Amino acid sequence: MTKAVKEHLIKSLASGTFVSGQLLGEDLGISRTAVAKHIKVLTEIGLDIYSVTGKGYKLAHPLHLLEKDKIISLLALETNKQTMKQNDLPLIEVHSLIDSTNDYLMRRLPNQVTSGQVCLAEYQSAGRGRRGRQWISPFGSQIYLSMYWYLEQGLSAAMGLSLVTALAVSDAVKAHSNVQVQLKWPNDIYLDGVKLAGILIDLEGQALEPSHCVIGIGLNLHMPVEAGKLIEQKWTDLQSHSKVKIDRNGLSAQLIGCLRQRLQQHQQVGLAPMLEEWHAHDAFLNKRVKLITGERITHGICRGVNNQGALLLEVDGQVKPVYGGEVSLRMDE
């Protein structure tokens, strides 16, 4: 399926009204049978399209595509409010189809990226979650965003970055929709006790030498029914909880702005000044939890996080820090 055919079909259907298969075929110079095959490919990447004999094809919901120029202008507006310079704006790329926004930026290290550079995509064919899991990435209904951040002081400066990022997501969601999320150590954002978004951080470099970091955010906005069936854990999406209509371009601009602010704050003063905010929205604070490391399960009480981003886990009256890695934290039912 050529990119031109795909983009023409998507733009033709984006308004959410019926479009005749014959008309689409005439526009593209292909048969109605070929149109039907291309539509099938679009449904496989998460577009909820149905057909009615005599009427044609229709999206279940109108599609509001990401627009680079709109995101940049919204970000510039917000930047001016904060009296930052216009030339402080990051480089932003928006892709229709990509394997993974994180992988895209990682492939460009070290010389083809600038600190704060952003990659957004409508669809990921190989989106990644933590611990090698697939991140279900249906087309045009969520936010898949990655940002490159230069770590001048080496990989040691990456400690706590997942918490900083989670706070940035909380800031952006609150500002855009007036919905308050909960934060779950080390990489998740919850809403009413169910996963709303995830964070994936890729690092490259040495402990004490200038290094590279790519921060990925996957945020569920309006999950298509069929795509939702593919997710193995409980999930929710923001539109289900928001009284305002979610604007993907507006929220993307908010995320970029809030993430840059939090990363700059972390670079200057570290994690310690943000701990109070984290604990105010910690989903598991002072609750019984279980920490899963491979086959091993440790039961305890979550006592928050420390200024290095470690989980504080109380076991038998002793509080010990647990650093990230191949671990999973869950409520102890």
Please list the active-site residues. Answer: 130, 195, 330
Do the Cβ atoms of 146 and 216 come closer than 8 Å?
yes
Binding residues: 100-102, 124, 128-130, 195
CA distance 31 to 298: 60
DSSP code per residue over 48-84: -EEEETTTEEEESS------HHHHHHHHHHHHHHTT-
Question: In the block, which residue shows the tokens 């509001």?
Answer: 64
**Among residues 206, 310, 189, which one has the least CA distance to residue 181?**
189
Q: How many CA atoms, within 13 angstroms, populate the side-chain half-sphere of residue 160?
A: 24
Q: Is the dihedral of CA 278, 184, 156, 134 positive or negative?
A: negative
Q: Using alpha carbons only, give the angle 134, 141, 223 rounded to the nearest 5 degrees.
A: 65
Do the Cβ atoms of 236 and 220 come closer than 8 Å?
yes
Binding residues for biotin: 100-102, 124, 128-130, 195
**Among residues 77, 65, 50, which one has the least CA distance to residue 10?**
65
The enclosing H or E element of 161 equals: helix 161-177
3-state helix, strand, coil in the chain (%, to 5): 35, 30, 35
CA distance 167 to 217: 12
